[in-house]
Chains A and B, each alone.
Chain A
Amino acid sequence: MDSTSRRSSAAEPAGECSDEELMVAFSRGSQDAFDELFLRYKQPLFGFFRRRVADEAQAEELTQESFLAVIRASSRYQPSALFRTYLYAIGLKILSAHRRKAAFRACFTGLPDAYREPAALGNLETEYVLRQAVGILDQLEREILLLREFEQLSYAEIGELLHLPVNTVRSRLFRARLALHNLLAAPAPTSSAEQARIEERA
Chain B
Amino acid sequence: MKTTSEHPVAPEEIMAFFDGELSAADAQAVAAHLDGCSACASLVSQFRGLSQSLTRWSVAPVSQKLENAVNDFAAKASAKSKTRKPSEPFRRIGGVAIDFSIWNWKLWAFGGMSAVAGVLVGIIFLLISYEHRPAQQNMAMMMSQNRGEETAGYAPPEPLKDRMNNSLSAPYAMATQAPSSGGAPMMNAGVGGSIGSDAESAPIIARTASLTIIVKDLTAARTLLDAMLAKHQGYSAQLTVRSAVSAPRSLTASLRIPASDLSNAISDLKTLGRVERESQSAEDVSQQHTDLAERIKTARATEERFRSILQQRTGKITDVLEVEESIARVRGEIESMEAEQKGLEHRVDFATIDLQLREEYKEEIAFTFADFSMSFHNAFVAGYRNVAETVTGIFLFLVEYGLSITIGLAILFSPTFFIWRRYRKARSRI
Contacts and interface: CB of A to CB of B under 8 A. Distances in A.
A26 interface: yes
Contacts, number: 163
Interface in B7-47: 7, 11-12, 15-16, 19, 21, 38-40, 42-43, 45-47
Nearest to B70: A67
Nearest to A39: B67
Interface stretch (A9-17, A41-49, A83-91): A41-49
Contact of A31 (B56, B74, B423): B74
A111 B425 CA distance: 10
Contacts of A148: 19
A63 to B, nearest CB: 6
B39 A197 contact: yes
B163 interface: no
A111 B426 contact: yes
Interface string B44-88: 011111110111111111110111011101110110011000000
Nearest to B51: A149
Given A38-B71, A63-B62, A202 B1 contact: yes
Contacts of A8: none
B398 to A, nearest CB: 33
A133 to B, nearest CB: 9
B11 A201 contact: yes
B95 to A, nearest CB: 12
Nearest to B41: A194
Query: Main SS of the interface on chain B?
Result: helix
Contact of A104 (B39, B54, B423): B423
A154 B81 contact: no
Given A115-B429, A184-B50, A201-B7, A127 B43 contact: no
A170 B16 contact: yes
B17 to A, nearest CB: 11
Contacts of B429: 111, 115, 135
Contacts of B412: none
A75 B85 CA distance: 11
Given A60-B63, A60-B66, A186-B46, A34 B39 contact: no
Interface string A112-132: 000100000000101100110
Nearest to B75: A31
Q: Which of A29, A74, A127, A187 has the largest number of chain B CB atoms within 10 A?
A: A29
A180 B62 contact: no
Contact of B53 (A29, A135, A186, A201): A186
A186 B428 CA distance: 25
B42 A198 contact: yes
Contacts of A60: 62-63, 65-66
Contact of A106 (B1, B73, B426): B426
A173 B82 CA distance: 45
A2 B59 contact: yes
A102 B66 contact: no
B43 A201 contact: yes
A100 B427 CA distance: 7
Interface string A28-59: 11110011001000110011001101101000
B430 A174 contact: no
A195 to B, nearest CB: 8
Contacts of B73: 67-68, 71
A81 interface: no
Interface residues of B, number: 52
A89 to B, nearest CB: 18
A184 B60 CA distance: 23
A148 B21 CA distance: 12
Contacts of B143: none
Contact of A202 (B11, B38, B60): B11
B56 A130 contact: yes
Contacts of B16: 155, 170
Contacts of A80: none
A181 B427 CA distance: 25
Given A34-B74, A64-B69, A190-B46, A127 B12 contact: no
Given A155-B19, A187-B49, A198-B46, A29 B38 contact: no
B70 A130 contact: no
B242 interface: no
Nearest to A104: B423
Nearest to A46: B62
Contacts of A64: 66, 69-70
B49 A68 contact: no
Interface string A94-118: 0000011011101100010001000
A130 B1 contact: no
Contacts of B56: 124, 126-127, 130
Contacts of B342: none
Contacts of B1: 171, 174, 202
10 contacts: A1-B51, A46-B62, A71-B77, A102-B426, A106-B426, A106-B430, A124-B56, A170-B21, A171-B12, A173-B15
Question: Top 9 A-B pairs ranked by shortest CB distance?
Answer: A106-B426, A188-B49, A103-B426, A197-B39, A47-B59, A1-B55, A103-B427, A107-B422, A31-B78
Interface of A: 1-2, 26-31, 34-35, 38, 42-43, 46-47, 50-51, 53-54, 56, 60, 63-64, 67-68, 71-72, 74-75, 99-100, 102-104, 106-107, 111, 115, 124, 126-127, 130-131, 135, 139, 148-150, 154-155, 170-171, 173-174, 177, 180-181, 184, 186-188, 190, 194, 197-198, 200-202
Interface of B: 1, 7, 11-12, 15-16, 19, 21, 38-40, 42-43, 45-51, 53-63, 65-67, 69-71, 73-75, 77-78, 81-82, 419, 422-423, 426-430
